[in-house]
Structure 1
C-alpha cells in the first residue's frame, strides 16, 4: 500500500507519479509529484507530502497545488487540496484495506465548480464523490487482485 506507483496503474485519474528530492520510499516528509487527467478538467500536476507512515498499518499523504492551478500555488501540506489515506486492519483470517480522502481545506477543482455554479453545490459535490468512490473502488480491487495473485 506504500508503493506510490500502484495507484497510478489502477486509478482512472492519477496517471503517473515520481518521487521528488531524491526520495525513493515513503518516509514522513518525503514528497512526490502526481500527474492527473480528467475528461472535464484536463491535465494537472500536484505535489504530495507524506504525512504518516506505518508500513504495517497506515500510509497517508497531503496533496498540494504546487502550480497554482486552482488558486495561489502552495506546497503547504497544512492547506492541501486533498488528503489521502490507506489503512490496513486485520480482519478474520485476512486483512482489510481502507482508502479514504478528505477534500480541502485548500482550493481544488471542486472549489472552482462551486464558485461557477453556486446554485448547484449539492450536485457538484455528489458528482465528485461519485467519481472519487469509483476511482477508489477500482484502485482497491486492483490492489486486492495483486495481493491475491502474489499469495
Structure 2
C-alpha cells in the first residue's frame, strides 16, 4: 500500500534556551506538565516512570486522541525520546530531544519522525492522496510551530527570574 511519503516524514527545531541543561532536562522529562505548555498535548502522566506514559491531544478541529508512549532514549541529561502508539503494536511516531550544554544556556534540538503505524496524518493523506505532499508538509510545519511554542512556554515556566 502506498503511504505517499508519510513513513519517515520528519521535522525538527533547534532552539537556544536561556537555562542550564539540568533545568531543561527537568522540563523535557516532566511529562505531567506538557499540558501547561503545548498547544496540542493537553495531558500527560507517567504509567511507569522513565518507561511508559500516556498523553491526550486536542487538535484545532476539536478532535481529541489518547496515546501511550514508550521511552526509547534516556541518556540523562542529553537525550530523551519516545515512540507513540495508538491502538496497534507499531509506533506511528517518534519524538526526541537532544540537549547541548552551553553553560547558562542549553541548545535544544527537538525532532519528530512519523513511523509506520496508523495516525491521523496517515489517514488524512490517504483520503486526500492528490494533495499528499502539501498535507504532509502542512502537518510537519504545524508540528514545528508547536515545538517552538512548547519550548518557549517551558523556558518561561522554568525560569526563576520570570516568576
TM-score of the pair, normalised by structure 2: 0.75
Instruction: Note the aligned Cα RMSD (angstroms).
Output: 1.8
Contact 1:41 / 1:109 at 8 angstroms: preserved in 2?
no
Gaps of 5+ in 1: 66-72
Match of 1:81 among 82, 88, 92: 92
| Farther-moved stretch of structure 1 (56-65 vs 5-14) | 5-14
Runs of 5+ consecutive residues of structure 2 not aligned to the other structure = 1-27
Matching residue within 40, 46, 66 for 2:61: 40
Q: Which residue of 2 aligns with 1:54?
A: 75
- Runs of 4 or more off by more than 4 Å in structure 1? none
Residue number in structure 1 paired with 2:23: none
Match of 2:138 among 110, 124, 127: 127
CA distance in 1, matches of 2:156, 2:139: 26
- What is the distance in 2 between the residues matched to 1:144 and 1:58? 17
User: Which secondary structure does the structure 2 equivalent of 1:49 belong to?
Assistant: strand
Q: Does 1:112 align with 2:123?
A: yes
Q: Residues of 1 paired with 2:111 and 2:35: CA distance? A: 16
Q: 1:51 to 1:130 in 2, by over 3 A?
A: same
Q: Which residue of 1 aligns with 2:11?
A: none
Match of 2:149 among 132, 138, 142: 138
User: Which of the pair has the greater relative contact order for Cα pairs under 8 Å at 6+ separation?
Assistant: 2
The residue number in structure 1 matching 2:43 is 16
